[in-house]
Amino acid sequence: MRTQVAIIGGGPAGLLLSHLLHRQGIESVVLESRDRAYVEQRQRAGMLEQGTTDVLRDGGVGERLDREGLVHHGLELRFGGAGHRVALTELTGRTVTVYAQTEIVKDLVARRLEDGGDVRFEAKVVAIDAAAPSVTYEQGGKTYTLECDYIAGCDGFHGVSRPAVPDMRTFSREYPFAWLGVLADVPPSTDELIYAHHERGFALHSLRSPKVSRLYLQVAPDEDLAAWPDERIWSELAARFATDDGWELREGPITDRSITPMRSFVAEPMRHDRLFLAGDAAHIVPPTGAKGLNLAVSDVTLLAEALTERYASGSETLLDGYSASCLRRVWRAEHFSYWMTTLLHADPQADEFARRLQRSHLDYVVSSPAAAASLAENYVGLPLGR
């Protein structure tokens, strides 16, 4: 068996890469260890930068996104009992769009199959040869080898590609908290996202549709989901979102719940020989800056361009620059995500001095147009920087 590009992982990174390559006449095989239903219902984040929606639309997979995505022009920072709007579009000229990652995955799987793409589910990669290049995978109790020109490691944080890069340096930060995320069948209590800082901890009100809300609570890193019955979740959310003017949070049945640890992580370089890493396989950001999915999309956009150049002209210039081009953008997003996280969460280890600094920082961001503009330009996303 042989293909041009073997893609490990059928998350947004792997599926989009396969689609973008197909548009350039480059053949690929996507190997995904889970089944299709699992990949399509897994709840993840859902805030898209304008650059991300442009890639999906220009790639011909933006039809449902254009119909169902919710375009946003601002967000709210809420603390001290009051809300403060950050006017994203006024400050940057750009918008962001709420459209769940799981919907993007559904759109991409459907499109790949419609186009005759080769996406193999329940196919787990167990070995990689970055020099010869080939990948070995198991499917239905049998072991297969797929030979290729290039391998794309799009297999997320717990995948097999990253360990296949020797002489890698890694950089990381653990945070003393996690996020408890819920999906609820209740109309959102807000039109724009609310990022709330409270001494009880951070809370985020996001949305999925006019009838479905997505909410998050800061919890301890080792928190037990069983300790959070619905009533406790709603009362804790209400306490953290409370304002002096009596704002009310609508409650409804919770349909999905999970706890996600918060971590920052970068692996350098994002390449070894014929193996290229993209998305969560190479880097993780805490979700406060809404950058994870957007970084995965910008990585594979650059990788698709580099492979296109290689097959069109034989030149490896873009492939050689791939890791450095990605990492510039990755580190900017790492800094912004760390910054938003520390700005908004309640650090259980913080002393009174640190708490006063944090409050001063929040006051500054909502009272200085320059500070708000800095938040806004990072939030809506910086140019791809080819």
Q: Which residues bind ligand APR (CB under 6 A)?
A: 8-14, 31-34, 39, 44-45, 101, 124-125, 154-156, 159-160, 279-281, 292-293, 296
Contact between 295 and ligand PHB by CB under 6 A: the answer reads no
Contact between 283 and ligand PHB by CB under 6 A: the answer reads no
Query: Which of ligand PHB, ligand APR, none lies near 298, with the C-beta cut-off 5 to 8 A by kind?
Result: none
DSSP string computed for 17-63: HHHHHHHTT--EEEE-SS-HHHHHH-----EEEHHHHHHHHHTT--H
Catalytic residue among 272, 283, 291, 345: 291
Cβ nearer to ligand PHB, comparing 216 with 234: 216
Contact between 287 and ligand PHB by CB under 6 A: the answer reads yes
CA distance 262 to 174: 7
CA distance 126 to 20: 25
CA distance 311 to 246: 61
Q: CB of residue 183 vs ligand APR: minimum separation in angstroms? A: 16
Closest to 332 in 3D by CA, of 366, 291, 367 = 291
Mark whether 322 is an active-site residue.
no
Catalytic residue among 22, 72, 198, 272: 72
DSSP string computed for 107-176: HHHHHHHHTT-EEETTEEEEEEETTTTEEEEEETTEEEEEE-SEEEE---TTSSSGGGSTT-EEEEEEEE
Q: CB of residue 364 vs ligand PHB: minimum separation in angstroms? A: 21
Contact between 290 and ligand PHB by CB under 6 A: the answer reads yes
Site string for ligand PHB, 175-214 (x = CB under 6 A): ------------------x------------x-------x
Q: In the structure encoding, which two tokens stand for residue 322, read together?
A: 């791939």
Q: In the structure encoding, which two tokens stand for residue 326, read together?
A: 């990605």
Cβ nearer to ligand PHB, comparing 84 with 120: 84
DSSP 280: G
Catalytic residue among 195, 198, 205, 272: 195
Mark whether 158 is an active-site residue.
no
β 275-277/283-284 pair status: unpaired
CA distance 261 to 231: 23
Contact between 272 and ligand PHB by CB under 6 A: the answer reads no
Phi/psi of residue 160, nearest 5 degrees: -105, -10
Site string for ligand PHB, 17-56 (x = CB under 6 A): ----------------------------xxx---------
Q: CB of residue 11 vs ligand APR: minimum separation in angstroms? A: 2
Burial class (CB in 10 A: 0-12, 13-18, 19+), 258: middle
* One-letter amino acid for residue 302 of the chain: L
Cβ nearer to ligand PHB, comparing 261 with 269: 261
DSSP string computed for 52-63: HHHHHHHTT--H
The CA R_g of the chain, rounded to the nearest whole Å, is 21
Q: CB of residue 351 vs ligand APR: minimum separation in angstroms? A: 32
Site string for ligand PHB, 105-134 (x = CB under 6 A): ------------------------------
Cβ nearer to ligand APR, comparing 29 with 281: 281
Laid out side by side, the sheet with 283-284 consists of 82-86, 75-79, 194-196, 203-209, 212-219, 169-184, 254-268, 283-284
Cβ nearer to ligand APR, comparing 156 with 188: 156
Catalytic residue among 99, 287, 322, 345: 287
Q: CB of residue 108 vs ligand PHB: minimum separation in angstroms? A: 18
Mark whether 379 is an active-site residue.
yes
CA distance 375 to 363: 13
Q: Which residues form the interface with ligand PHB (CB under 6 A)?
A: 45-47, 193, 206, 214, 287-288, 290
Active site residues: 72, 195, 287, 291, 379
